[in-house]
Amino acid sequence: MSATISESKEKFCVSIVDPDRPAWFLRHYGYYLELEPEYKPRNAHIFDDDSSFLLIPNKFYPEYFALESMNLRNYYIQATSNGRMRISSYQNSNQFRNSASFALTDHFVKRMLTSSTCENLTYTVSRPGLRHTVHVGSK
């Protein structure tokens, strides 16, 4: 069974794709985030839900985004102290809010303006009302 969301939140539904391998999506598996090919996923019946997140602006801090799991509500993508990304249930602490808040930056535009290289994550969010694809990688 596929997770459903209201139309008002649907415009913020995103999937994260490796820009070097367009058929590879970031999905949670055992609570940790992993890249996995769309054409041969583990647990194919829940792959779409595991690789879909709600992009929520200003969730914890102004001008920052949180990414909530589509099929594990109230679970957010979080950077852990060991450098891995995972989904974790919401905890009412500054440490959690800090590690689950992300800024979206168009690094292609940033490179063009600064003429410098950037090895951070690259995000591209398309127009509202559609399922967005967010590219991640070192471009």
User: 11-67, pLDDT tens digit by residue?
Assistant: 578 888 888 888 999 999 999 999 999 999 999 999 999 999 998 988 999 888 899
Q: What average pLDDT does the segment 101-111 reach?
A: 64
Q: In the chain, what are the domains?
A: 7-135 (2.80.10.50)
Q: Which residues contact 92 (CB under 8 A, 6 or more apart)?
A: none
Q: According to the model, what pLDDT value does residue 80 have?
A: 83
| Residue 134 structure tokens | 């967010």
Q: According to the model, what pLDDT value does residue 113 have?
A: 44
pLDDT at 122 over 60: no
Band of residue 128 on the pLDDT scale cut at 50, 70, 90? very low
Number of residues that make up the chain: 139
Band of residue 83 on the pLDDT scale cut at 50, 70, 90? confident
Q: What is the CA radius of gyration of the chain?
A: 15
Strands 65-69 and 53-57: antiparallel
pLDDT at 10 over 50: no
Does this model's pTM top 0.75? My answer is no
Q: Which residues contact 56 (CB under 8 A, 6 or more apart)?
A: 12, 65, 66, 67, 68
